[in-house]
Amino acid sequence: MAIADVKEYTHLTEDEVEQLGRELDAIRAEVEESRNADDAAYINRLIKVQRGLAAGGRVAMLASAHTRAGRPALVAGTAMLAVAKILENMEIGHNVMHGQWDWMNDPEIHSSNWEWDTAQPAEQWKHSHNYIHHQFTNVLGHDNDIGYGILRMAREQKWHPVNLGQPVYNALLAGLFQWGVALHDLDIERIRKGEKDPGEMRRQLRQILRKGRNQILKDYVVYPALSGPAWRSTLRANATANVARNLWSYVIIFCGHFPDGALHFTEEELEDETRAEWYLRQMLGSANFEGGRALHVLSGSLGYQIEHHLFPDLPSNRYPEIAVKVRALCEKYDIPYTIGPLHRQYGQALRTIMKLSVPNSWTSSDQPEPPSPSRDRKRRSDAERPARRPELGGWARSPRERSHD
Amino acid sequence: MTSTIPWDRVRRAGSKLTTPLHPDDYLRLINPLWTSRELRGRVEKVVPETEDAATLVIRPGWGWRWDHRPGQYIGIGIEVDGRFQWRSYSVSSPTKQDGRTIAITVRAMPEGLLSSHLVNGLEPGTIVRLASPEGDFTLPDPPPARILFLVGGSGVTPVMSMLRTLDRRGSMPDVVLHYSSPTPARMIFRDELLDLEGRHDGLRFHQLHTDTDGVLDLADLDGLCPDWRERETWACGPGPMLDAISEHFERAGLEERLHVERFSLQLGGDGGEGGKLTFRNSGKEIEADGATTLLEAGEQAGVGMPYGCRMGICHTCTVTLVSGTIRDLRNGDELGQPNEPVQTCVTAAVGDCTLDI
């Protein structure tokens, strides 16, 4: 079931929704005013740990290649590199690019010039993610993250025989996640329909090729070459670290909006949507998962998906304290707060992938209410979307490249 | 420093191992000074000069070019409550080609949180950010044969760098230094200046203690330094003092001979007309009037604007103006070439503008 009007769905009056919006604004203001040296120390420490792990992992692999350290060093190095890549992509890169740390006025940790350790150029990520996904969260036809143009993830999306392959596409996407992400902002569906500006496409492709080439050279040519005769094991170790990062980020990201209870919306909801209604849509469209501190850090604080969608540019180390307040608000206004253990959330997402590979009539819906009629799956261009909201973190269309790229 | 090792090429090769980061991003975690991505320095010593002023001796890290000219200032950024705050201070140490440290001398201002922190709260070992030397308030090399320095309060710092440079080079010409300070105790570098005067026949040092003797009356200049009209003059000190000196030199038709350093923002130019500012990367927009700087407007709109001194000297706040026209509030100049880098802290919109941030 897709929702055309969040107010109606939640049975809140217009005043109640606006009041909720004000309470959320107050939470935001409180965090903004209290950002301090401890927050700065958190991100600085995390960056230090992450770079230490990355360097340590590379050194361990080289030690295994050139000394008698052998296999234990190789295994340790692979694990360290995988964790380093996960931390860099999730808790550091993703959050820095949202502008969560811009308030520090530190040009080395700033959304405008952060480049992350994955194939997708930061600039394209900031467009496809900060803007498209965070503003149009779960709105059919607007949010390209509903299935990433590869999977059918909502019953409102029309079934096509191609969807029968979903279990296979899903497995491929999981293993090659960084490359799927790299191509995401190209919007292959629009290219296929000939709706994409060819100049813009060439520019984006050039960017992806340059970034991807550097990434591949590093992991699959330079470090193996430095390993001498043991090049094969270094190459395998790097591939393992990359795949581990791919699988992990895939699982975490699929837990954000695909578990049961995370709702979809139709285009009507966007019409005259107020800031408070936007907040409400973020709460209804996102799902959290439970876990300890280490799990949350390794998943880029995306276990606090609801809080992250409400306040994408507040420092991630504050999400736990924000979550307590948001949950209380949900109880006060009787709004669902979707949360569960990681394995259940992912299990539900996986089950939806399987179910939606076949026509709706073969399966039952896992959402409480009956499905509304199928809608066209046409994707909108930026020009067809409503003007953007300012609190989502930056995105750029200017290739202000960093000098060493 | 000249080196036989091509460090740039070494770093470029290294970046193949560290892409998308730079080797310096890792090396700085071993030693905070081993990076040239952002200029950094370590505070080696904090030397008290007077009750409320101290000299910070700073060892710059990689990337520092030892090319500062005597009289120039540098930017210093320190982390306060998690945020980097920037100020600019004159270098007080002499020019050195192969030095290891530079020194700035700071007076704690009554309302100045940062200057108080620098004077009283900075531990040796603190890592600070630095910005390259800038400024035209400099002594030419070789120096002119006859020089007059008119300084007040902490305005002595750039002049101190000049005098120390002249002393080091052994090329002290005929110099008159007129230094105003409320009391002898508040006079920064007093002992060193007296020592310099004792060692150099060419240097005459006039002290004026304004608490007891009142501020410098420029009519007295003829008595203090009869040949002031024939001297190259450098003046640095409080705004009112500099205004009076500038006026005095203009009346004498000698403004060419006068070099002035101001450490406060002077908004002489008219404001812009205002307009809608669009911040392209973040997609934020705000209507700004002609008196609001682009920096203030951006901050009001919630854009994470970079900032530094907030008075147009350190260039930390520079952002690319994609389109539109802006006015420099200091002098009224209009800037509006596409993709021009502009200092957001001293400029305001003339019509609608788009900034690349």
Contact of A206 with chain B, judged by CB distance below 8 Å, is answered with no
- Is residue A375 very low, low, confident or very high in pLDDT (cuts 50, 70, 90)? very low
| pLDDT for the residue numbered A399 | 36
DSSP letters for B306-351: --SSSSSSS-TTEEEEEEEEEEETTT--EE--TTEEEEGGGEEEEE
- Is residue B310 very low, low, confident or very high in pLDDT (cuts 50, 70, 90)? confident
Chain A residue closest to B128 (CA)? Answer: A106
Mode of pairing for the β-strands spanning B146-152 and B174-181: parallel
User: How far apart, in whole angstroms, are the C-alpha atoms of residue B22 and residue B12?
Assistant: 8
**Residue B290 is encoded by which pair of tokens?**
């002609």
Closest CA to B150 of B206, B201, B109, B107: B206
Contact of B341 with chain A, judged by CB distance below 8 Å, is answered with no
Q: Which residues of B130-150 are buried (b: 16+ CB within 10 A; e: fewer)?
A: bbbbbbebbbeeebeebbbbb
Question: What does each C-alpha distance from A29 to A34, A322, B233 come to in angstroms?
Answer: 9, 12, 52
The residue-averaged pLDDT of A261-281 equals 91
Interface of A with B in 242-301 (CB under 8 A): none
For residues A211 and A172, is the Cβ–Cβ distance under 8 A?
no
Q: Residue B232 is part of a domain; what is its CATH number? A: 3.40.50.80
| CB neighbourhood size of B336 (10 A) | 15
Residue with the bigger pLDDT between B109 and A171: it is A171
Phi and psi for B193 in degrees, rounded to 5? -65, -40
Domain boundary (B113, B134, B155) is at B134
| pLDDT for the residue numbered B342 | 86
Tens digit of each residue's pLDDT (9 = 90 or more) over A128-156: 999 899 999 999 989 999 999 899 999 99
Residue A379 has pLDDT above 70, yes or no: no
- Is residue A381 very low, low, confident or very high in pLDDT (cuts 50, 70, 90)? confident
**Residue B334 is encoded by which pair of tokens?**
């209009």
Tens digit of each residue's pLDDT (9 = 90 or more) over B30-50: 999 999 888 999 999 999 999
Which residues from chain B sit within 8 angstroms of residue A104, using beta carbons?
79, 82-84
The identity of residue B172, as a single letter, is M
**Residue A306 is encoded by which pair of tokens?**
């609801």
| pLDDT for the residue numbered B312 | 75
- Is residue B318 very low, low, confident or very high in pLDDT (cuts 50, 70, 90)? confident
For residues B55 and B105, is the Cβ–Cβ distance under 8 A?
yes
Which residues from chain A sit within 8 angstroms of residue B309, using beta carbons?
none
Longest dimension (CA), chain A: 71
**pTM strictly above 0.90:** no
Which residues from chain B sit within 8 angstroms of residue A214, using beta carbons?
16, 19-20
User: How far apart, in whole angstroms, are the C-alpha atoms of residue A312 and residue A336?
Assistant: 20
B299 in the same domain as B196: no
The residue-averaged pLDDT of A172-181 equals 95
Edge-to-edge strand ranges of the sheet holding B174-181 = B203-209, B174-181, B146-152, B232-236, B258-261
Question: Does the residue B160 lie in any domain?
Answer: yes
Question: What does each C-alpha distance from A116 to A214, A236, B211 come to in angstroms?
Answer: 12, 22, 59
Question: Residues, chain A, total?
Answer: 405
* Percent of chain A residues topping a pLDDT of 90: 75
| pLDDT for the residue numbered B269 | 55
Question: What does each C-alpha distance from A154 to A14, A364, A367, B26, B334 come to in angstroms?
Answer: 28, 12, 10, 44, 54
Contact of B302 with chain A, judged by CB distance below 8 Å, is answered with yes
B338 in the same domain as B286: yes
Q: Residue B96 is part of a domain; what is its CATH number? A: 2.40.30.10
B234 in the same domain as B128: no
Q: To 5 degrees, how large is the angle CA B91–CA B97–CA B101?
A: 50
- Is residue B15 very low, low, confident or very high in pLDDT (cuts 50, 70, 90)? very high
| pLDDT for the residue numbered A357 | 96
Range scoring the smallest mean pLDDT among A30-34, A251-255, B155-159, B214-218: B214-218
Residue with the bigger pLDDT between B333 and A83: it is A83
Question: Does the residue B305 lie in any domain?
Answer: yes
B280 in the same domain as B166: no
- Is residue A193 very low, low, confident or very high in pLDDT (cuts 50, 70, 90)? confident
**Residue B150 is encoded by which pair of tokens?**
């008119």
Enclosing domain of residue B61: 7-134
Question: What does each C-alpha distance from A27 to A97, A286, A325, A364 come to in angstroms?
Answer: 22, 19, 8, 39
Domain boundary (B217, B233, B261) is at B261
Residue B293 has pLDDT above 70, yes or no: yes
| pLDDT for the residue numbered B187 | 96
B213 in the same domain as B94: no
Residue A373 has pLDDT above 80, yes or no: no
User: How far apart, in whole angstroms, are the C-alpha atoms of residue B102 and residue B123?
Assistant: 17
The residue-averaged pLDDT of B244-255 equals 95
B127's CB contacts (< 8 A; 6+ apart) are: B32, B33, B40, B41, B42, B43
- Is residue A112 very low, low, confident or very high in pLDDT (cuts 50, 70, 90)? confident
B239 in the same domain as B336: no
Asked if omega into B182 is within 30° of 0 (cis), the reply is no
- Average confidence score pLDDT of chain B: 89
| CB neighbourhood size of A130 (10 A) | 26
| pLDDT for the residue numbered A394 | 58
| pLDDT for the residue numbered B265 | 58
Residue B57 has pLDDT above 90, yes or no: yes
| pLDDT for the residue numbered B97 | 65
The residue-averaged pLDDT of A241-249 equals 98
Phi and psi for B323 in degrees, rounded to 5? -155, 160
| pLDDT for the residue numbered B319 | 86
Chain B residue closest to A388 (CA)? Answer: B283
C-alpha dihedral sign at B153, B157, B158, B161 = positive
Mean pLDDT is highest, among A233-242, B74-83, B261-270, for: A233-242
Helix (H, G, I), strand (E, B) or coil at A13: coil
B213 in the same domain as B111: no
For residues B156 and B189, is the Cβ–Cβ distance under 8 A?
yes
B341's CB contacts (< 8 A; 6+ apart) are: B318, B319, B320, B321
Residue tagged 């503008």 (tokens): B353
| pLDDT for the residue numbered A393 | 63
Q: Determine the distance in angstroms separating the CA of A154 from the nearest CA of chain B, rounded to an integer.
A: 30
Q: Which of A54, A400, A404 sits opposite B12 (nearest CB)?
A: A404
* Percent of chain B residues topping a pLDDT of 70: 95
B130 in the same domain as B101: yes
Chain B residue closest to A48 (CA)? Answer: B29
Q: Determine the distance in angstroms separating the CA of A105 from the nearest CA of chain B, rounded to an integer.
A: 5
B119 in the same domain as B18: yes
**Residue B171 is encoded by which pair of tokens?**
């090329």
Total H helices, total E strands in chain A: 18, 4
Domain count, chain B: 3
B333 in the same domain as B217: no
The residue-averaged pLDDT of B61-79 equals 91
* Structural domain boundaries in chain A: 2-34+118-392
Tens digit of each residue's pLDDT (9 = 90 or more) over B103-150: 999 998 877 778 888 888 889 999 999 988 988 899 998 999 999 999
Interface of A with B in 70-129 (CB under 8 A): 99, 102-108, 110-112, 115-117, 126
Question: Does the residue B76 lie in any domain?
Answer: yes
DSSP 8-state assignment for residue B184: G
